[in-house]
């Protein structure tokens, strides 16, 4: 971080982050924002588990419980997992492909602020009459029936933050296609860049159906349109389709980057190149493609008929094949390697069996007639937590340890990290393993309570204890971060010793322009190649040292997002809305907000911003300040 | 020899699994203790799927553990640079083909069972007189309670489904307000009750529910439908065909039954004044008569197993329920629709408890 270099006042730092278009700073903001929402959603989960600890418990009321379950799901998926993955994508992808920034730095900043203000808006619902309570799926008949403004917050908050996600997705697509350093061909891209690429394509095709569905729901809720009102010829099943055409790819949007992260961690700590690189790439693309063909497996009990169910059942099973390829490739990467069990590797090693367990229960649910029993029971709760926690969250926690030195030039404490892993990992299995059986024993999901003597009491109790362990793990991780921030020593580049890809070749702390000269990539795992050939510099360059073109900072993305944030309050209290407490100021506020947003767009369109050049003299001065004499403390 | 061993291995795995799983759950609610043809088919699929999946997990775990213990850095040496293997086409083909075969083994019965369980053609079969042959129950899900009507016999009841054993019972499923889902875990998988359309499926009840702990199978709403989703339970009483015919006759005999506002019984008089607008006490009449009687039909209340679907079936519980329904089932549509005194509530409870068609 540059804080040690240039001491800045608090106000200046805040202004710097509000206006920054630097992918590394945006990554840090995504990390902070995502962690904030992760902790909130985790707390919601613990509250729910406390309520379900005993039968007929009255820790929270039925209405509150529904708000908690809705916000837990919505927040974890949209506001915690996505931004945390975006944090890693932002930090790592440009460095991995040898770029100075993403293709559209301005849009990168816009994407972050839309996400954050959308998420903030959604969470204000807790203080403004109650959070959404129709589940993260928000099925139309219930979401239209739901009184109060909760569902309105859901619709508006997701619309705003969803726009941010879509923008970021497009940005990464363009970045990966256009910004690769010379020699970084598609088939030399690190797996994390590949998975980011496929994920971005999924975002591009997956989010528009959600946006369309939300717009329809928004018109129904705010202007009493009748898209989903059966009495007036509307149809609620259309919402289910739109939601799941988005919702299923969403699962892959989240899990593919996690696969990518593990595909970086496993080869590093096995000291061996990724086994079957090309089949890994192929499997990633295939999973992304098939991900769009299977959404109706969430709707087996809706009554689509046996033909639709049979087709979607078989299509869903097909996804197991490329996923299996990935698992075996990871195993064979480890096989014959030299395994060093660091904290990130521990997470990777914990991930493989956990994710396989989540995968096979997924296949069980693809078995349509069997799914009639499993659907909407605790079995599905267990299944998707095995995939999401066992896959995505373990990926995120492992990568936090792995990439912390890249973000902050500090190493997280390894011993504490391993303790954290074990507590979290045991807690995770304790919480969710028995839930499979609860489901098979007839317990429906999303219940705020249950009667005693149905055979569910003990398993629910154990599950709650597991949830406490998981929270203890997260608290330990936060402690680790705090300790590291206070006591940590500079880590330098390549602190793990065996890293392979370009992002580790850059000297620490990373200068704001990343690479002083664009590197030349000579093969897969370029940094490994250079190290093996004894190149102390870690890189060969594709260009002589010259002036660097960089984008200007801008407050416009923040203002643009703020306009939509303000407009959302206007839309929320629309006089035509379903909820009956409209406000006279609603329409003016809506208009003011939209004027701010569109005004900023016009300003941005009319004012040319060509960026600026960092001269060679400035580069050399900065590097001397950062690393002492040239070639020094690397 | 190897083949035989494998077969036995599979078989014993399956047997072990069955013993383990069938130890799980209560007979009246567990999908692991199937009590009907549909649930049994699903249970068999579960066993097949679990067996295949266990094989996968075991194979992965074994490779994983061997790799892990064999290739620790402490074993292979600190400075060894392993051979940088690119991949193996042979292995790639193996772990593509074997999963495909395993999936095919699962996919074939999946598709067959999907069609089998989706076959409701018999619902439309009629005899010479044009009467339907099969028994069909129209299920209407409403906010936190269930209505069951039998169009063949022109009778309607609520909260407790009564069905004959040993035959396919067909269901027309529909929701009246928001989406719910109809699920009797021990008898078969669920199907959603949509607001848009009628869903159809069938269930088979193998044995009489009399010997179960509460004398009934438990049914659940499986789709989030609002605050009291967790409390939207119903019960299923399966009886022998003879007893079912008796029950139908008793139900039909309640035709025209009503509460008399002039009655000397305070409970009946209060019911006639405050309750009958929503709750019918005759099982014969138009089902789903939303305007006339939007609440659950109470003709058989005395025969039921629960108050309000989940509370104890006692006069005390019933009194508490009538007094403050919101406290017990938040978001229900009964709260605030009537005003009765404590004395009237006591009388009401004993009157409603007395509504019965079964011989005691």
> pLDDT by residue (tens digit) across B267-315?
999 999 999 888 989 998 765 545 556 889 999 999 999 999 999 999 9
Instruction: Say what the pLDDT of residue A614 is.
Output: 93
How far is residue A270's CA from residue A337's CA, in Å, rounded to a whole number? 5
Task: For residue B60, list chain A residues with Cβ-Cβ distance below 8 A.
Answer: 327-328, 331, 352-353, 356
Instruction: Express each pLDDT in B116-136 by its tens digit.
Output: 999 999 998 988 888 889 999
For residue A48, give both structure tokens: 């729910």
Reported confidence tier of residue A632, pLDDT bands at 50, 70, 90: very low
Q: Does B151 lie at the interface with A, CB-CB under 8 angstroms?
A: no
Give bridge partners of residue B192 from the DSSP assignment.
B181
| Between residues A365 and A627, the one the model is more confident about | A365
Instruction: Express each pLDDT in B152-199 by its tens digit.
Output: 999 999 999 999 999 999 999 999 999 999 999 999 999 999 999 999
Instruction: Say what the pLDDT of residue A147 is.
Output: 86
Give the gap in angstroms from C-alpha B123 to the nearest C-alpha of chain A: 16
Inter-chain contacts counted by CB atoms under 8 A, chains A and B:
295
Give the gap in angstroms from C-alpha B358 to the nearest C-alpha of chain A: 27
Give the gap in angstroms from C-alpha A310 to the nearest C-alpha of chain B: 5
Contact assessment for residue A423 and residue A473, using Cβ atoms and an 8 Å cutoff: yes
How far is residue B14's CA from residue A434's CA, in Å, rounded to a whole number? 20
CB contact under 8 A, A357 and B60: no
Please tell me which of the candidates B183, B194, B227 has its beta carbon nearest to residue A63.
Answer: B227
Please tell me which of the candidates B64, B100, B310 has its beta carbon nearest to residue A353.
Answer: B64
CB contact under 8 A, A271 and B82: yes
Please tell me which of the candidates B71, B107, B226 has its beta carbon nearest to residue A334.
Answer: B71
ipTM over 0.90: yes
Task: For residue A334, list chain B residues with Cβ-Cβ distance below 8 A.
Answer: 64, 67-68, 71
Give bridge partners of residue A385 from the DSSP assignment.
none
- For testing contact with chain A, the best of B60, B83, B232 (most A CBs within 10 A): B60
Please, which residues have CB within 8 angstroms of residue B27's CB and are 6 or more apart in sequence? Answer: B33, B35, B186, B212, B213
CB contact under 8 A, A363 and B221: no
Residue A545 pLDDT > 70: yes
Please, which residues have CB within 8 angstroms of residue A613's CB and are 6 or more apart in sequence? Answer: A547, A548, A549, A550
Instruction: Express each pLDDT in A90-123 by its tens digit.
Output: 999 999 999 999 999 999 999 999 999 999 999 9
What is the average pLDDT value for chain A, to the nearest integer?
93
Q: Does A187 lie at the interface with B, CB-CB under 8 angstroms?
A: no
Task: For residue A533, list chain B residues with Cβ-Cβ distance below 8 A.
Answer: none
Q: Does B222 lie at the interface with A, CB-CB under 8 angstroms?
A: yes
Q: Does B22 lie at the interface with A, CB-CB under 8 angstroms?
A: no
Contact assessment for residue A366 and residue A51, using Cβ atoms and an 8 Å cutoff: no
Lowest-confidence pick of A293-302, A421-430, B250-259, B290-299 = B290-299
- B:108-147 residues touching chain A, CB 8 A cutoff: 110-111, 113-115, 117-119
Instruction: Express each pLDDT in A146-182 by its tens digit.
Output: 888 999 999 999 999 999 999 999 999 999 999 999 9
Q: Does A364 lie at the interface with B, CB-CB under 8 angstroms?
A: yes
Lowest-confidence pick of A326-335, A574-583, B330-339 = A574-583
Say whether B284 sits in a helix, a strand or coil.
strand
Chain centroid to Cα A598, Å, comes to 28
Reported confidence tier of residue A536, pLDDT bands at 50, 70, 90: confident
- CATH of the domain spanning A2-522: 1.20.210.10
Q: Does A61 lie at the interface with B, CB-CB under 8 angstroms?
A: yes
Domains of chain B: 2-117 (1.10.287.90), 135-353 (2.60.40.420)
Q: Does A54 lie at the interface with B, CB-CB under 8 angstroms?
A: no
Return left, alpha or beta for B288; rule: phi > 0 is left, psi -120 to 50 is alpha, else beta: left
Lowest-confidence pick of A126-130, A312-316, A420-424, B76-80 = B76-80
Instruction: Express each pLDDT in B15-55 by its tens digit.
Output: 666 666 666 788 999 999 999 999 999 999 999 999 999 99
Give the gap in angstroms from C-alpha B234 to the nearest C-alpha of chain A: 13
Please tell me which of the candidates B64, B99, B218 has its beta carbon nearest to residue A321.
Answer: B99
Task: For residue B20, list chain A residues with Cβ-Cβ distance below 8 A.
Answer: none
Concatenating the DSSP letter of every residue in A535-582 gives -TTS-EESS-S--EEEPPP-SHHHHHHHHHHHHHHHHHT-TTSSSS--
Instruction: Express each pLDDT in B319-330 by its tens digit.
Output: 999 999 999 999
Residue A247 pLDDT > 70: yes
CB contact under 8 A, A301 and B77: no
Reported confidence tier of residue A569, pLDDT bands at 50, 70, 90: very high
Residue B3 pLDDT > 90: no
Nearest-CA neighbor of A96 among A176, A203, A4?
A176
Reported confidence tier of residue A634, pLDDT bands at 50, 70, 90: very low
Task: For residue A136, list chain B residues with Cβ-Cβ distance below 8 A.
Answer: none
Give the gap in angstroms from C-alpha B5 to the nearest C-alpha of chain A: 25
Report long-range pairs for A493-498 (Cβ below 8 Å, ≥24 apart): A493/A538, A493/A634, A494/A527, A494/A538, A495/A405, A495/A411, A496/A268, A496/A269, A496/A342, A496/A402, A496/A405, A498/A268, A498/A269, A498/A271, A498/A340
- For testing contact with chain A, the best of B42, B47, B87, B144 (most A CBs within 10 A): B87
Task: For residue B224, list chain A residues with Cβ-Cβ distance below 8 A.
Answer: 66, 69, 134-135, 139, 142, 446
The nearest alpha carbon in chain B to A305 belongs to B118
Residue A10 pLDDT > 70: yes
Residue B7 pLDDT > 90: no
CB contact under 8 A, A369 and B30: no
How far is residue B303's CA from residue B309's CA, in Å, rounded to a whole number? 13
Please tell me which of the candidates A301, A339, A440 has its beta carbon nearest to residue B192.
Answer: A301
Give the gap in angstroms from C-alpha A334 to the nearest C-alpha of chain B: 6
């Amino acid at each position: 971080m540059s804080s040690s270099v240039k001491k800045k006042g608090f106000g200046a730092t805040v202004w710097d982050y509000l206006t920054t278009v630097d992918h590394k700073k945006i990554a840090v903001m995504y990390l902070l924002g995502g962690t904030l929402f992760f902790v909130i959603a985790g707390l919601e989960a613990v509250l729910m588990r406390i309520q379900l600890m005993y039968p007929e418990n009255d820790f929270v009321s039925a209405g509150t419980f529904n708000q908690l379950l809705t916000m837990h799901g919505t927040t974890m998926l949209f506001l915690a997992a996505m931004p945390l993955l975006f944090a890693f994508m932002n930090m790592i992808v440009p460095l991995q492909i040898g770029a100075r920034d993403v293709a559209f730095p301005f849009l990168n900043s816009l994407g972050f602020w839309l996400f954050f203000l959308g998420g903030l808006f959604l969470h204000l619902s807790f203080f403004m009459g109650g959070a959404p309570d129709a589940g993260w799926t928000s099925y139309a008949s219930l979401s239209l029936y739901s009184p109060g403004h909760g569902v309105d917050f859901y619709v508006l908050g997701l619309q705003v933050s969803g726009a941010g996600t879509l923008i970021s997705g497009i940005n990464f697509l363009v970045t990966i296609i256009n910004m690769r350093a010379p020699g970084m061909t598609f088939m030399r891209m690190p797996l994390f860049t590949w998975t980011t690429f496929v994920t971005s394509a999924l975002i591009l095709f997956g989010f528009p159906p959600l946006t369309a569905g939300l717009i329809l729901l928004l018109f129904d809720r705010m202007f009493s349109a009748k898209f989903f009102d059966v009495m007036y010829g509307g149809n609620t099943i259309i919402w289910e389709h739109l939601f799941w055409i988005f919702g299923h790819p969403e699962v892959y949007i989240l899990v593919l980057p996690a696969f990518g992260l593990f595909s970086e961690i496993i080869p590093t700590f096995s000291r061996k190149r990724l086994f079957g690189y090309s089949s890994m790439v192929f499997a990633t693309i295939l999973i992304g493609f098939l991900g769009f063909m299977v959404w109706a497996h969430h709707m087996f009990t809706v009554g689509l008929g046996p033909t639709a169910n049979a087709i979607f059942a078989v299509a869903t099973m097909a996804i197991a094949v490329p996923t299996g390829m990935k698992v075996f490739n990871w195993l064979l990467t480890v096989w014959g390697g030299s395994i060093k069990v660091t904290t990130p590797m521990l997470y990777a090693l914990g991930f493989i069996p956990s994710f396989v367990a989540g995968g096979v229960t997924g296949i069980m649910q693809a078995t349509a007639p069997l799914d009639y029993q499993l659907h909407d029971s605790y079995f599905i709760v267990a299944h998707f937590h095995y995939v999401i926690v066992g896959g995505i969250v373990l990926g995120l926690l492992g990568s936090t340890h792995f990439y912390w030195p890249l973000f902050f030039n500090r190493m997280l404490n390894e011993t504490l990290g391993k303790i954290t892993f074990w507590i979290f990992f045991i807690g995770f299995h304790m919480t969710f393993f028995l839930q499979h059986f609860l489901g098979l024993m007839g317990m429906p999901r999303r219940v705020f309570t249950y009667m005693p003597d149905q055979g569910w009491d003990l398993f629910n109790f154990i599950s709650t204890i597991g949830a406490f362990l998981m929270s203890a793990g997260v608290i330990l991780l936060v402690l680790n971060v705090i300790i590291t921030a206070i006591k940590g020593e500079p880590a330098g580049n390549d602190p793990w010793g065996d890293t392979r890809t370009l992002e580790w070749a850059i000297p620490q702390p990373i200068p704001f322009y990343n690479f002083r000269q664009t590197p030349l990539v000579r093969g897969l795992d370029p940094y490994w190649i250079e190290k093996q050939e004894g190149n102390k510099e870690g890189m060969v360059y594709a260009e002589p040292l010259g002036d660097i073109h960089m984008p200007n900072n801008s407050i416009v993305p923040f203002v643009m997002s703020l306009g939509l944030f303000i407009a959302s309050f206007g839309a929320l209290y629309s006089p035509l809305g379903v909820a009956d407490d409209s406000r006279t100021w609603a329409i003016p506020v809506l208009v003011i907000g939209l004027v701010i947003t569109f005004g900023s767009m016009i300003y941005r369109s009319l004012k040319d911003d060509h960026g600026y050049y960092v001269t060679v003299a400035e580069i050399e001065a900065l590097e001397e300040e950062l690393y002492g004499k040239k070639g020094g403390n690397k | 020899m190897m083949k035989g061993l494998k077969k036995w291995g599979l078989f014993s795995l399956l047997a072990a699994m069955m013993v383990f799983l069938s130890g799980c759950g209560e007979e009246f609610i567990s999908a692991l203790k199937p009590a009907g043809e549909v649930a049994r088919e699903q249970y068999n699929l579960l066993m097949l799927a679990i067996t295949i999946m266990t094989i996968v997990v075991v194979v992965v775990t074994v490779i994983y553990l061997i790799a892990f213990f064999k290739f620790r850095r402490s074993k292979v040496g600190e400075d060894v640079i392993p051979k940088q293997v690119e991949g193996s086409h042979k292995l790639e083909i193996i772990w593509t083909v074997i999963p495909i075969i395993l999936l095919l083994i699962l996919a074939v019965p999946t598709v067959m069972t999907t069609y089998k369980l989706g076959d409701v053609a018999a619902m439309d079969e009629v005899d010479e007189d044009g009467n339907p042959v099969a028994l069909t129950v129209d299920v209407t899900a409403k906010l936190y309670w269930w209505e069951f009507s039998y169009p063949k016999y022109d009778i309607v009841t609520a909260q407790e489904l009564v069905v004959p054993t040993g035959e396919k019972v067909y269901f027309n499923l529909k929701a009246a307000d928001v989406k719910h889902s109809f699920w009797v875990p021990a008898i078969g998988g669920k199907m959603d009750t949509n607001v848009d359309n009628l869903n159809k499926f069938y269930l088979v009840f193998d044995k009489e529910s009399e010997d179960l702990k509460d004398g009934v199978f438990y049914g659940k709403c499986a789709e989030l439908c609002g605050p009291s989703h967790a409390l939207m339970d119903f019960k299923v009483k399966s009886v022998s065909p003879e007893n079912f015919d008796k029950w139908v006759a008793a139900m039909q005999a309640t035709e025209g039954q009503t509460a008399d506002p002039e009655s000397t019984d305070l409970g009946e008089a209060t019911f006639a004044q405050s309750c009958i607008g929503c709750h019918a006490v005759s099982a014969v009449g138009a089902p789903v008569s939303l305007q006339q009687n939007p609440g659950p039909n109470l003709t058989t209340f005395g025969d039921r197993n629960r108050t309000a679907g989940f509370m104890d079936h006692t006069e005390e519980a019933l009194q508490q329920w009538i007094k403050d329904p919101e406290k017990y089932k938040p978001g229900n549509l009964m709260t605030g629709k009537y005003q009765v005194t404590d004395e009237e509530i006591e009388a009401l409870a004993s009157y409603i408890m007395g509504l019965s068609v079964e011989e005691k």
